[in-house]
Structure 1
Amino acid sequence: MNYFVAPDSIVRKIWGKDDTILFIFAGASAEFALNKAVDWLYFTGKLPSDPLGRLFSTVSYARQIIFADYDQALFAINKITSIHQAVEQKRAAQIPDWAYRDVLFMLIDYSIRSFELLERKLTPEEKEDIFDVFYRVGSGMGISGLPTNFHSWQQMREEHIQEHLLASAFTVDLYRQYKKHLGTIRFFILKQAQILVVPQRVNKLLRLGNTPIFASVIITYKFLRFLKVENYLKNMLLPEAYKPQIAALNTA
């Protein structure tokens, strides 16, 4: 069978474990709140009314592409494009290409950061593999101005972080919604996870702090995972409504 992402790709390993995806989710939730184009996500009303569901939707589409055969992956990519086009028609405006690139760049960056936090350092070849997968997703969506290799992506990613992030009223409201939907304790855990994975500029704009209280907890978690009893901890921490969805993420 012809796959969009090779069965032995590191991308499948990264996106086949729920804990790695949850850290990708944590990083993306931080950066979404700062993106200058976040008003597009507010336009439909779906993000503020269900921020966790909206972010899980993004994760779900990414996984459909990563684990599907080639034709199914192209179908998912085309569906994402059509959804965005429908929103553009309703607003009578066009989502800027840099906003599309920002989301794509987040998926690349937090895939790397999350895996290296929980597993090991990636090789240059593995990082190129990650870049290539999401480059082909972006190319399939018709996103212009994409970098053509990992090195170029690193430079453009840094430029985007410096130019396209802003703490705004949307940022404040979105974090208010995170707290509302997660509860005080889980919201605190989310921010601790964000400290561990987000770039320094994201941390600074969100004022998350530079003391990751949970840094030592990660070591304990890795040990629990080695003993295959980490699910007990996850079940205590995860929102009840999302436990089935999160459990279904384990495919690696």
Structure 2
Amino acid sequence: MNTQISLIQKIDALLPQTQCGLCGHRDGCLPYAKAISEGEEANKCVPGGQPVANALAELLGRSQLPAEESVWPVQTDGRPQRMKAIIREDECIGCTKCISACPVDAIIGSGKLMHSILTELCTGCELCIPPCPVDCIDLVEDLQAVPSEEARIAEQNDLRNRYYAHIQREEKRRINRKGPVVRANIDTALFAQFSALSDVVPEIQLVAKIDKPVITQDAAITIQLAKIRTQIKKLEKQLSVREDIKKRALLDDLQQQLSALGVS
């Protein structure tokens, strides 16, 4: 293991692993650790606060800088107040966008069904809030006692493990994914390099690209399905107001096309 990689790992070990992107690196703590090793200022970790900024300065032999301020008050340990996200479940429409956005898989649910947040896993990163189309996610104070240093390290290691597992799963699903991707454009090669050097985090393997003809065919089918569904909804709405033989026949034909494509 060369000196550069060793330094990045030491920096990453000090970061809180919230994967929040408030440092400016939307794709997680590891890319920020790499940037710090290359000369970027080490005081940008908002959830880490002044303790992390100071620890990084000591590790790197740099002057201490004031940490980036948080909008939350400071706890007794010098770090910003720990926050947790909660879903107002009676308002949730089950769009699944928050599930895709959560970097540590702390949200459970399924399409068109109510979602819930596992608060013990939530890092308060806030990444699930912007994609929510009905604004039903709130941040509340974590009322648990400030963790000990030992508990904090264990938590960071667990969050890092969960994030690597999240990236691995997302990488496998990336090519065949339908709909918008809410997560960041992950530097998978960087994470794969580091996962290969660790016995703790899940190993990330790069997924081979699918040939262009397959992607084109998949995209064409998706567009075709979208058009058929749109026509069906329009016809159903019209027929609910007034029955029409021709429109009814067209509706039956479109529904048969959906069945032929293996979609109900």
TM-score relative to the length of structure 1: 0.30
Q: Please identify the structure whose Cα radius of gyration is greater.
A: 2
Instruction: Tell me which of the two structures has the higher relative contact order, counting C-alpha pairs closer than 8 angstroms and 6 or more residues apart.
Output: 1
With normalisation by structure 2, the TM-score equals: 0.29
Higher strand share: 2
